[in-house]
Amino acid sequence: MSFPSNGLPQGLTTELDEFLARNDFVDLYKYYNWRNDNYNDGFPDILNIENTLIASDRNEGISLRDVRTVADWGKLRNPARIEGSEIVLPPRTLHGTNNIPSESLAHSPLAPVLLLERNIEKGIGPTYLSKVLRFGLPTEYGAIDTRCVRVFGEGDPRTQRHHWLNLRTRNDGYGWYISKAQRAWPSDYDIWLNILRYFSQKLLSTCPHPEAFVHCGLRSNNKWACADIEMAIFAYASQFTT
């Protein structure tokens, strides 16, 4: 189970409770589908990339090569443009010495985001910064994808269904993206993470993880990680977006 949520206004938590009452997160989690990753096949690429980035964080640090692996998985249009330091997150940025999530992240989850922004000079924005953290520490992080922002944030009135975030996505004719050059970044990512934490605490022990995730120690049996919540919400958003 993730860290407890903090700082969410009462009006937003009321909306989250209403969303929770109207939607079955178990079904949404099972509906998640991205390229080779689907529930029936056990989310194989997600499993492999989580194992890779978690091992990197616990040993030599998360590398630019790891970032490019995440970019390839997410179908980033120009992964060759990614440039930066060889190690973008120093060892144990995300995990403590006992291999559990670093306690400092409970109240400062954005600190690794700022490190990534310093160490990756160009080539990725908020979506892929958040994906790197999602794979490096899935219990505490989930991606902030353009589909989710179009449905839960701003920028696409056609698909917006909720207004949980002020973060805005844009499409200048080459596909949807989230710009770092907006007031709501990265502060709204903190809100997003606390939304994922909130749902994780509310749902308790109902997540039907594929067995390999539990066997590898990536998940506690049936406990919702932030990344699991984000996968369910992505499946919800995908009903309205392409």
Q: Bin 92: left if φ > 0, else alpha if -120 < ψ < 50, else beta.
A: left
pLDDT of res. 219: 96
How far CA 126 is from CA of 39, 78, 95, in Å, comes to 26, 15, 22
CA–CA separation, 221 and 210 (whole Å): 10
Amino acid at 118: R
> In sequence order, which residues have a C-beta less than 8 Å from that of residue 55 and are 6 or more positions away?
none
Q: Is the pLDDT confidence value at 201 over 90? A: yes
- Judge contact between 115 and 199, C-beta under 8 A: no
Residue in 129, 121, 117, 113 with CA at minimum distance from that of residue 67: 129
Mean pLDDT for the chain overall: 96
Q: What is the pLDDT of residue 36?
A: 97
Share of the chain above pLDDT 90, in %: 94
**Quick one: pLDDT band at residue 41, thresholds 50, 70, 90?**
very high
Predicted confidence (pLDDT) per residue in 66-84, tens digit: 999 999 999 998 888 999 9
Tens-digit pLDDT profile for residues 170-195: 999 989 999 999 999 999 999 999 99
The answer, yes or no, to whether residue 129 has pLDDT greater than 90, is: yes
pLDDT at residue number 242: 78
What is the rounded average pLDDT of the residues 41-70?
98
* 0.95 exceeded by pTM: yes
pLDDT tops 80 at residue 1: no
The pLDDT, as a whole number, for residue 98 is 86
Q: What is the pLDDT of residues 95-112, one digit of tens each?
A: 998 889 999 999 999 999
pLDDT, position 204 = 85
Residue 227: what pLDDT?
A: 98
Q: Rg of the chain's alpha carbons, rounded to an integer?
A: 17
Tokens for 175?
């596909």
Whether pLDDT at 13 is above 90: yes
